[in-house]
Structure 1
């Protein structure tokens, strides 16, 4: 039986690393970074910086639904699938309900201590913008995960 996992948490938490490692450890593994799907938009992309808009929300939902379709197709073909996505926990729950009805999905909350996440973000070299711009977002998303009811999630506190 194949597995679909969604790795989520604040920027810099280690989601991408964990998702790729897990997928690579499977006999057939696929990793879907939702941000990559969002970047398929080459005209009119609504990004999270400098501000979140209704269009940003719409484009995130489109990318989430596309990731779900790809995940379900690959899972049906015998692949285990990791989805790497930074979203608030309630948005991940809504995505699973909306796009994965009838499909078992394991939600992984990647949540190291805030100081660790902030330090990792400061040391990033893989962004085409100043990663310090993410610090306010990191603090908000980290607080949301720390306060959320994650009883239906698997917690990865220290990747």
Structure 2
């Protein structure tokens, strides 16, 4: 049974970094980045809402295709609302796959610090564009926006304040059959 893992959390928490590390440590896993899809669209950044919705549709189709082939998939995306979570749950159910949502957590100071560092030295092209919409001063609001997701039954909260290897060990335990 394939698995669809949603790594949720505020910008700067390390979702993409953890997804990349997970894919490198688990052969057969594929990462699908909604941000990468969004930034490849001709409508981005002039139409951010339209681009974001189109990217989610494209990503969901790609995830469905991969799960149907029996591959495990990780999606890293900041989702304060449940709309796209429901889409991903449905995609997993339709593919007879296991769905896990993990909200990566860190404290406000760490989010602010990571967003500041990311602004100074982006490690991904999409960070430059995304950082036009968030800044270190938004850390408290970004964390608060995820309170409802963190409280949802079945959502796993994983502390991502330590080294990536530590976060991977926790995820490995959650992903065990």
- CA positional deviation for 1:94: 3.6
TM-score computed with the length of structure 1 as normaliser: 0.79
Matches within 5 A, 1:98-137: 100=92, 102-103=94-95, 104-124=98-118, 125-126=121-122, 127-128=127-128, 131=131, 133-137=134-138
Q: 1-side partners of 2:91 and 2:48: how far apart?
A: 18
> Are positions 1:140 and 2:153 aligned together?
no
What is residue 13 of structure 1 aligned with on the other side?
13
Equivalent in the alignment of 2:53: 61
Q: Which has a greater percent of helix?
A: 2
Deviation at 1:7, TM superposition (A): 0.8
Q: Number of residues paired by the alignment?
A: 151
Give the structure-2-normalised TM-score: 0.72
Q: Which residue of 2 aligns with 1:26?
A: 26
More relative contact order in 1 or in 2 (CA 8 Å, sep 6+)? 1
- Specify the alignment match of 2:153 in structure 1: 151
CA spacing shift, 1:79–1:102, aligned 2, 3 Å: closer
